[in-house]
Structure 1
Amino acid sequence: MKYKIEKNTVQETLILPLYSRKLCTELYPNLYRDETAVRLIDQIDYDFSEAEKNSRSLMQRFGTLEVAMRQNDLAFEVRDYLKSHPNAAVVNLGCGLDSTGRSCDNGSCKIYNLDFPDVIALRQQLLPAGEREQNIPCDLKDPAWFDKIDASGGAVFFASGVFYYFLTEQVRELVQGMADAFPGGVLVFDAANRTAVQMITKTWLRTAKIKDVGAYFAVSDAKSELSPWDSRLQASSRGYMMGYNDLKDPSVSGFFRFLARVGDGMMKMQIVKIRFGGKL
């Protein structure tokens, strides 16, 4: 029995990133593996013909490499935090159908997947919560979800492709609220500079008829721009294409390595890590 997904629905917006993660697994097997994505795509009844056609283009393939690197980098940071906080809460903000939390499971952490109610409803069908795992329906901008996280053993939060669609003020309020609620915790997410964010959001902004692109969250220098938000914040960043991996793998062409350097350099594509000062 396959789970049917219709075109032009919210659910469709979730399975296209899932398809990208499956494609990454096939194109860059030495760099990235997401067996959950491969399995879920097989369980979904959806016309993937357009996605398959697009996947042959050079830029689409580079896009899937971006997806692979971003997920790998965030998973690296989660696992790094768990080394010193083995019983921590691992919190996927805007989870969609991503299973990064589960892939980082050390056997003792607590895993939380947060997203809008309709997203969580689909997730419950395709990725029901396992042991020590909760799928929580919420609006990330409403701090009511803070109370649902057991951070007694520490907390590491990660967001993939989420904050580009937040206003800068919304990200600031969320981060300050998290610093209050989760001292000693860490938040990691991908970000880019204003030029890159305009490229990332242009289709969405046009659909939403939003004119003030400048109000949306973008980062050039995480340390100097984000740390001043609050004295308890320590912000740092690494390029997300080559900051964690030199991409010297046979599956990655020299041209793609060049594009990766441009992404990290001119576009400031980065993984931002914010530590919340204080002890749990």
Structure 2
Amino acid sequence: MGDYVKAFIYNLDFPNVIAVRNQLLPAGDREQNIPCNLNDTAWFDAIDATGGAVFFASGVFYYFLKEQVQALVQAMADVFSGSVLVFDAANEKAVKLMLKTWLKDAEIKDVGAYFAISAATREISAWDPRLQVSNRGYMLGYHDLKDPSVSHFFRFLSRIGDGMMKMQIVKIQFGKQ
């Protein structure tokens, strides 16, 4: 067999979530479960990104304040140069719908404080010159809507999600200063 790189997977989440994960889905040979708060960058020390790393934050940043996401991204750019962060995002209207129940239970009134974006490339690129940002519609990330096999219902969902709610997949590559 030829040379290839084996990826190592780090699962990061709150300690109580990692405890359940360890019971139900223990880490494999090339995997490590790290109990942490993503906003406490102490977890950076547990990551070996010598050859670069790819970080996925799926469904995570909706629960963060805008300032927390910006601070985390900038801190990651400091430490993980040459690595990539991929996550999903949406505009304020979509985030408000997603967080409706949680916001009510937490008695939070200012949904605008939570992380929401409409134009990722423009908005996030302004945070730091080291960030190379790209994005595409959330639904378009999975299907070519011009393909005749795509259902009318999926096309409709795409117009709402990718269009009205600006749901998107965002990729940030951390460059050097």
Give the 5 Å matches for 1:1-280: 87=5, 108-246=6-144, 253-278=151-176
* 1:143-164 deviation digits (Å, cap 9, x = unpaired): 0000000001111001111101
Runs of 4+ in structure 1 deviating by more than 2 angstroms, as ranges, are 246-250
CA distance in 1, matches of 2:25, 2:168: 29
3-state SS of 1:184 partner: coil
3-state SS of 2:126 partner: helix
CA distance in 2, matches of 1:156, 1:259: 29
3-state SS of 1:220 partner: coil
Counterpart AA for 2:125: S
Counterpart AA for 2:118: S
* 1:246-279 deviation digits (Å, cap 9, x = unpaired): 26586x6412321222211111110011110029
3-state SS of 1:229 partner: coil
Counterpart AA for 1:173: A
Report if aligned partners of 1:154, 1:185 keep a CA contact under 8 Å in 2: yes
* Contiguous gaps of at least 5 residues in structure 1: 1-85, 88-107
Q: CA deviation at 1:131?
A: 0.9
Instruction: Give the percent of matched residue pairs that are identical in Structure 1 and Structure 2.
Output: 71
- Compute the TM-score of the two structures, normalised by the length of structure 1: 0.59
Report if aligned partners of 1:242, 1:261 keep a CA contact under 8 Å in 2: no
CA-based RMSD: 1.7
CA distance in 1, matches of 2:151, 2:171: 29
Relative contact order, higher structure (CA 8 A, sep 6+): 2
CA distance in 2, matches of 1:189, 1:243: 12
3-state SS of 1:241 partner: coil
CA distance in 2, matches of 1:144, 1:243: 32
CA distance in 2, matches of 1:149, 1:243: 28
Report if aligned partners of 1:115, 1:138 keep a CA contact under 8 Å in 2: yes
Report if aligned partners of 1:238, 1:244 keep a CA contact under 8 Å in 2: no
